[in-house]
Structures are given as C-alpha cells and as structure tokens.
Amino acid sequence: SAEHQHVRYNPLRDDWVLVSAHRVKRPWQGQLEKPPPEDVPRWDPKNPLCPGATRANGEVNPKYEGTFVFPNDFPALQPDAPEPDDSDHPLFRAAPARGVCKVMCFHPWSDLTLPLMSLPEIRAVIDAWAELTTELGASYPWVQIFENKGAMMGCSNPHPHCQVWASSFLPNEACLEDRTQRQHLSQHGVPMLLEYAEQEARRKERLVVENADWLVVVPYWATWPYQTLLLPRRHVCRLQDLSDSEKDSLASIMQRLLIKYDNLFEVSFPYSMGWHGAPTGPYLQEDCGHWQLHAHYYPPLLRSATVRKFMVGYEMLAQAQRDLTPEQAAERLRSLPEVHYK
C-alpha cells in the first residue's frame, strides 16, 4: 500500500523515485532556513529591476508600468560564440552553444509576487511569455522560461521577475521529454500528458486545483515534497497556441495554485518553475504532436517555512527519494484556502 516503501516510475523522465512514507515521522534536527524578508520596499532606486533604476551596464530602465523585458546583463548564452576546437578523443567532446538570455519583470512594484497580483496583471505576464516564445522561437530550437522565486532558490532579487534563455541546442531535459513523449505516442497512440491529465482528472487523489481548461496535480512520480505539474486539458503544443480564454483561465489557475503555496506555511513560497513545450526554430516545420505543453513547479520546502528538502546523498548518487507521499501532499494543498493569508 501507499503506507509502505515502494518505487514509482516517472514516464516523462524515464526514471524512478523511492517513496518511503513511513519516514515522515522522523524528528528534524537539521538546518533551519530564515523566512524571507517581509519588508521589501515597493520601489528602490538601487534595485536594478525597478522602473527608472540604473542597471549594471549603465542603462537606465524605463518607467515601465506593466511587464518589462530586457537583455540579461550577465548572460549564460550569447548569440555569437566561437566554435569549440575539434575533439581529439570521443571522451572529450564539445559542441557549439549559442543563444540569448533575457530578464522579464512581471510588475513595476518590488513587493508584489504573482499570487498577490491581479488577474489582468498575471494575464499580461502570460501574454509576454507567449510573445517571447514566438519571437525567440522563430530561430532558436529551445526557449526556456523559468522563474526562481525566493532566496532559498538562489534568487538574488525580490522584485517579481523570471528569465528566458533561448538556445541553439535542445537542453538535456528537453531531449529527454522529447524522447519519452515521442515513444509514448507511438506506443499508445495518444500524447502522454494528455492521457495523464485525463487520468488524474478522473482519479482526483493528486488533484490540487482545476478549471475548465487546466488542472494542477502533485504528479504520481513527484520528487520534491510539494512539486506540482500544470497541464492543459486539450492537446496544445506551445504557449503561443493558447486561445485568449485559455490564457485567462491560466492566469486564474496560476493565482489559485500560488495562493495555496503561500498559505501552506504562511510565507512567500519559494520555488523554481518553468514551461516545457514543443521545440521551436527548425522544429516548427516538423510534426511535434507527441508534445504537450506543461509547467513544472519545484518548491524546496518540506515541513515548514524553515525546513527544506535537500537533494543530496542517496538522491545524487542513487535516485530521488521522498517521505511524504504525493497523495498526502496533494491533500494538504487541496484543503488550503484560496484567499491569501495576507
């Protein structure tokens, strides 16, 4: 039964997670994190993400009132990098890597996070995401939108923002999901995550929130305690394929999920999240029907605002392991109020 240890298969990553439900009762004497600061100023001229502030490269931000996209001043990828030297041995391979890194501010105010923004403001973020995937995806095969929220996730700036990295190559996770989804479609005749969403909508035990177009589940194979997967109900490959009403209902379900996250431990909930959709650039000409658009949310918190899950030891050297079952996590999230604790 779910009360005893067992392993679960993750069909999207083709790997396994060890679920040790009986360990949830063990005492905690490990590291305690500091809760995030509550007194973030709404506007700070020294904060490089604020309207009118000066950035590291000397550029002054416009006095923006909605979303604001600009090139990352310290990009991990640049459009014109020299080719690496030819390898003299198969164990020492390198390949070219080019790309563009952008930063996107969600809102002019530093003290707002997505769950505290209005639906039209969240909808503007979604529109900007779709525009960026269209624009950068015209030439680049992969456009990764990701948000690191909170100091615990290495986010150095409290201002609400995300990053968008476009690359000339398909990154590891994209290659993996491309392979597993392609395999599933050829073996079962239906896109994996479309079938999965239908199953979870029916079973309900891992459901967190749902509406007419979307559902959020703690996936059956989740590795992080309160990890969630955001899925559309219809078959859709990329963010830019969403209809206006689907973007509205996406804003709503994101707000509901993120309010629940904040309410769980009554703290601005840290996470890393990101969108995965069908590859772009040259792949726009190919059939990518095996793909299904989805977003992953990976929060590190485990038992309280100050106790986090570390992926170390067994996880790094053997495989992912969790104590709280995905069903227990989903039940806790599902039962939380949808009005923000603030």
Strand extents, DSSP E, 240-325: 271-276, 294-298, 301-304, 307-308, 320-322
Q: Could you give the 3-state DSSP secondary structure of residue 114? A: helix
Active site residue 4: no
Q: Write the CB contacts of 146 (distance below 8 Å, at least 6 apart in sequence).
A: 162, 163, 164, 165, 272, 273, 274, 275
Strand extents, DSSP E, 98-221: 99-105, 142-149, 161-167, 207-210, 214-217
Residue positions in the annotated binding site? 23-26, 56, 72-73, 148, 154-156, 163, 177, 276, 294, 296, 309-310, 314-315, 321
Residue positions in the annotated binding site for UDP-alpha-D-glucose? 23-26, 56, 72-73, 148, 154-156, 163, 309-310, 314-315, 321
Residue 30, CA distances (Å) to 264, 270, 308 in order: 21, 19, 9
How many angstroms separate the CA atoms of 25 and 32, rounded?
18
Q: Could you give the 3-state DSSP secondary structure of residue 94? A: coil
Q: Which of 159, 161, 184, 290 is catalytic?
A: 161
How many angstroms separate the CA atoms of 36 and 40, rounded?
10
The residues facing 304 across adjacent strands are 307
Residue positions in the annotated binding site for Fe cation? 177, 276, 294, 296
Q: Write the CB contacts of 328 (distance below 8 Å, at least 6 apart in sequence).
A: 21, 24
Residues with active-site annotation:
161
